[in-house]
Amino acid sequence: MSASSPEARKRVLVVDDSAFMRRMVSDVVSSSGEFVVVGTARDGEDALRKVHALNPDIVTLDVQMPGLDGLDALGYIMSEVPRPVVMLSAGGPDGGAEATLRALELGAVDFVRKPSGPISLDLDRVREELLDALRAASCTNLRGVHVLARALRTQRLESDVASRALMPALVERVVCIAASTGGPAALTQVIPRLARNLNAAVLVVQHMPKGFTASLAQRLHTLGPLVVTEAAHDNVLQNGHVYIAPGGVHMRVERCGTDVRLRLDDGPTEWGVRPAADPLFRTVAQVFGASAVGVVLTGMGRDGAEGLRLMRAVGAIGIVQDRDSAVIAGMPVAALHHAGADVVVPLDAVARAITDAVASFEETAALRGRKAAPMVKSRSMGTA
Q: Which residues are catalytic?
A: 180, 207, 303
| CA–CA dist 328, 296 (Å, integer) | 12
DSSP state of 349: G
Between the CA of residue 328 and those of 8, 97, 120, 273, 300, what are the distances in Å? 20, 22, 32, 17, 6
Smallest Cα–Cα separation from 186: which of 363, 348, 4? 348
CB distance 223 to 330 below 8 Å: no
DSSP state of 273: B
Cα-Cα-Cα-Cα dihedral sign, residues 281, 139, 23, 72 = negative
CB distance 14 to 26 below 8 Å: yes
Smallest Cα–Cα separation from 292: which of 282, 302, 300? 282
Residue 62 pairs with which residues in a beta bridge? Answer: 88
Residue 11 pairs with which residues in a beta bridge? Answer: 36
What does the radius of gyration of the chain's CA atoms come to, in whole angstroms?
23
Cis bond leading into 275, ω under 30°?
A: yes
- Residues in CB range of 260: below 8 A, 6 or more apart: 171, 174, 201, 236, 237, 253, 254, 287, 288
In a 3-state reduction of DSSP, which class is residue 177? strand
Q: In the chain, which residue ranges form alpha helices assigned H by DSSP? A: 19-31, 44-54, 70-80, 97-105, 119-138, 158-165, 183-190, 213-223, 277-288, 305-313, 330-339, 350-383
